[in-house]
Structure 1
Amino acid sequence: MSDLSPYATSIVRLFPDSAGTVLWFIDPVPYEVASLSAGLEHDLRAWEQSYEDALTDDFEWRSDALASQYTEDGRSLAHRLAHELGGDFAVEFQSYEDGADALNVRISAPADNPDAAAAFAALADAARAEHDEMRVARAEHEHARAVVRAEGGPDGGPLYWSATAPDASDRPEPVATISGELTTMMNVLGLQPADDRVLDAIDLVGGLSENSVFEEGDLTVLYLTARDAGTDFLFENRTLASVIIRTQPQAKYGAYPRPDALIDGLSGAATRAEVVARFGVPEWTSATADRFVVDGRYLHVEFDGSGRLVRITLMVSAP
């Protein structure tokens, strides 16, 4: 996973873009969050309005003089903002005027506006925390792989994960069947993110809280996460390869909102014995997990120290 961008932690950008603010810290920062002085906020709003007034309906400058004035005012405002934020933050301004030089200014002095500096420091802390949570999410996905890699396949052979959904002829022979809300998740394996059936599955968890993309060689991995609902949808090269569902809260995740409705006949805190009784002998097992072939897909079930169900991973292909 790539390092966190300085545009989320230490560089504030200044530009108008129809966002209701000209302050950007990766995302637009509302003025009520930024805690700037009243005078600076007023002048930033006026600058954005003057920019809009300086453009034609075709978004061209009405005159070179207006373009130059926009740049001059922007540079002045960037310096004022830098003084309010102090030395912990740089302010970057790249004018829309053709040929104008970019400005990056950092003041070697304490903040003139401690409230504004504290507001942006809080945003930076939140960005770092979210970045760390993404690392946790990535690690949790790798956990399922690591478990089976450590144990080896059922026949001791090599282990792999497929980034491409197999066609029906490649699916494993079904050993068990399933009913309950988990069937919706299972049926969308192998589909693409914009498929209506995937969107229906996302609706089951109440929508997404975040998304992230990772590059791993030739593989592009997209995570769609519903953190409060304890669910990750993992796409490999735009194909839904796995769905991770937590039936109990874990490591900055909540639990699936209706764990007892996931699998008819099993509670969200079922014992390992109850899971085996429901699905039969697992086709692979380890100290803390069992894997079953269910409706032609793989169901990887993990248990806590007391032998209770804590996490389910649905997979197109087994390692």
Structure 2
Amino acid sequence: MTRLAGDITTFLDALGTPEDSAPFAAAVALVGTELEVDEQPYGVHTARYLISEAGGVEFLVKEGVLSSVFVFLAGDRSHAPYPRPDALIEGVAPGSPRSEIAAVLGEPVRSQPAYDLFAASGRFVHAEFRDDALVKVTAMLRDPAAR
């Protein structure tokens, strides 16, 4: 794997930190819009989604720390596309095929028809594809399959 660069590093650095931390604030600053809060039950805790529809990003806070950052490169019914798509991961553009993602992020930890999961800086990057084109990137604190 080559050295990871781009906005994704700010998102990865914020994972595992509380909402009032400097790394979390730096991640939110990249979005540059107001965040809507949606709270959902999560076991005995509450999961907080901090949503920027206009910025194409959702932050998921579980058990008091940032757990995941969802970046919508293609946008969808509820999200505009991320406004800095070429800055998200250096060497990766929206719509990039799997082979280009792997050339930057290395061999996936896990691969399924719709996604690849990569280890990155002690965290994880989930790349979601539609018709072999990158449409969403999620920075994750943990591998969701590891329980």
> Is this a same-fold pair by TM over 0.5?
yes
1:284 to 110, 113, 126: 110
**Structure having the higher Rg:** 1
1:216 to 42, 45, 61: 42
Partner of residue 316, structure 1: 141
1:228 to 54, 76, 80: 54
Counterpart AA for 2:79: Y
Contact 1:176–1:295 (Cα < 8 Å) also in 2: no
Alignment of 1:177-196 (within 5 A): 177-196=3-22
Structure 1 runs (4+) deviating above 6 angstroms are: none
Structure 2 gaps, min length 5: none
Alignment of 1:198-209 (within 5 A): 198-209=24-35
Does residue 257 of the first structure (1) align with residue 96 of the second (2)?
no
Counterpart AA for 1:232: E
Following TM superposition, by how much is the alpha carbon of 1:176 offset from its aligned partner in structure 2, in angstroms?
A: 5.7
Following TM superposition, by how much is the alpha carbon of 1:278 offset from its aligned partner in structure 2, in angstroms?
A: 1.4
Counterpart AA for 2:42: E
Following TM superposition, by how much is the alpha carbon of 1:253 offset from its aligned partner in structure 2, in angstroms?
A: 0.7
Following TM superposition, by how much is the alpha carbon of 1:215 offset from its aligned partner in structure 2, in angstroms?
A: 1.9
Q: Secondary structure at the match of 2:124?
A: strand
RMSD: 1.3
In structure 2, how many angstroms separate the alpha carbons of the residues matched to 1:253 and 1:261?
A: 18
Counterpart AA for 1:214: Q
Alignment of 1:1-319 (within 5 A): 177-305=3-131, 307-319=132-144
Q: Secondary structure at the match of 1:261?
A: helix
Q: Secondary structure at the match of 1:220?
A: strand
**Structure with greater helix share of residues:** 1
Following TM superposition, by how much is the alpha carbon of 1:216 offset from its aligned partner in structure 2, in angstroms?
A: 2.5
Contact 1:176–1:293 (Cα < 8 Å) also in 2: no
Length-normalised TM-score, structure 1: 0.44
Following TM superposition, by how much is the alpha carbon of 1:291 offset from its aligned partner in structure 2, in angstroms?
A: 0.4
Q: Which has the higher contact order (CA 8 A, sep 6+)?
A: 2
Following TM superposition, by how much is the alpha carbon of 1:201 offset from its aligned partner in structure 2, in angstroms?
A: 1.1
Deviations 1:185-210 (A, max 9, x none): 11000000111221121111113331
Contact 1:210–1:225 (Cα < 8 Å) also in 2: yes
Contact 2:7–2:87 (Cα < 8 Å) also in 1: yes
Percent identity over the alignment?
32
How many residue pairs get aligned? The number is 144
